[in-house]
Amino acid sequence: MGVQACDSFSNIDDFYLKIFTIYDYRTAGKVNDGVRLKDKTKFEDIVIGYIVFKAKVLSIPYGASLREKDYYLFGKSRMEDLKADLNTSFRK
């Protein structure tokens, strides 16, 4: 049992990345139209919000896997922030 458990856990990252997307403020900002899960308090609302968020991530045309889509959305958000910083010479 111990060896099988270790084998299972070694693949958990692969499993996780195939069925879950990361709810990150950058990624959420690109797909959620202002809906923020951190403002939700009921578990059901959080789960429903995550399901809607995941469907929006899956619908973007870039990347084959959820992980690739996460990277794309995060990178796009970071690029937009960097362009804004460059335009203002990094002044806030």
- List, for residues 26-70, the tens digit of each pLDDT value: 888 888 766 778 888 899 988 888 888 888 888 988 888 888 888
* Total number of domains in the chain: 1
92 falls within a domain = no
Longest dimension (CA), the chain: 58
Evaluate whether residue 28 is within a structural domain: yes
Residue that wins the pLDDT comparison between 43 and 15: 43
Q: Domain containing 11: what range? A: 2-87
90 pLDDT band, cuts 50/70/90, is: confident
1-5, 39-43, 45-49, 88-92: least confident range: 1-5
Give the integer Cα–Cα distance in Å for 50 and 32. 10
Separation CA 32–CA 56 (nearest Å):
8
Indicate whether 21 belongs to any domain.
Answer: yes
